[in-house]
Amino acid sequence: MTTFRISTWPRHLLGCALLAISAKLLFFGRDLDWGVGWTTWIPALVLLIPASALLRRSVLRRDRHHVSIESGWLWRRVFSVRLEGELEVLPTAGLRAVILHQRGREVALATWISAATATRLLAWLDEATPLPRRAPLIPAGDR
Residue 142: its pLDDT value, please? 59
Within-domain flag for 143: no
In a domain, 128, yes or no: yes
Residue 8 CA neighbour count, 13 Å, CB half: 9
Does some domain include residue 125?
yes
- What spatial distance separates the first Cα and last Cα of the chain, rounded to whole Å? 41
> Rounded CA gap, 3 and 87, in Å?
18
What is the model's pLDDT at position 125? 92
pLDDT at 7: 86
Structural domain count of the chain: 1
Let me know if residue 108 belongs to a domain: yes
Tens of pLDDT, residues 12-61? 999 999 999 999 999 988 888 888 888 899 999 999 998 988 888 899 99
CA distances from 85 to 22, 47, 52, 59, 66 (A): 39, 34, 29, 21, 12
CA distance 16 to 134: 34
Q: What mean pLDDT do residues 55-76 have?
A: 87
Instruction: Note the pLDDT tens digit of each residue in 77-91.
Output: 888 999 999 999 998
Rounded average pLDDT over 117-138: 89
Domain, as residue range, for 59: 2-138
Q: What share of the chain has pLDDT > 90, as a percent?
A: 52
CA dihedral 109, 111, 116, 119 (to 10 degrees): 20
CB 64 within 8 A of CB 128: yes
Q: Which of 41-50, 69-78, 93-102, 115-124 is predicted least confidently?
A: 69-78
More confident residue, 57 or 141: 57
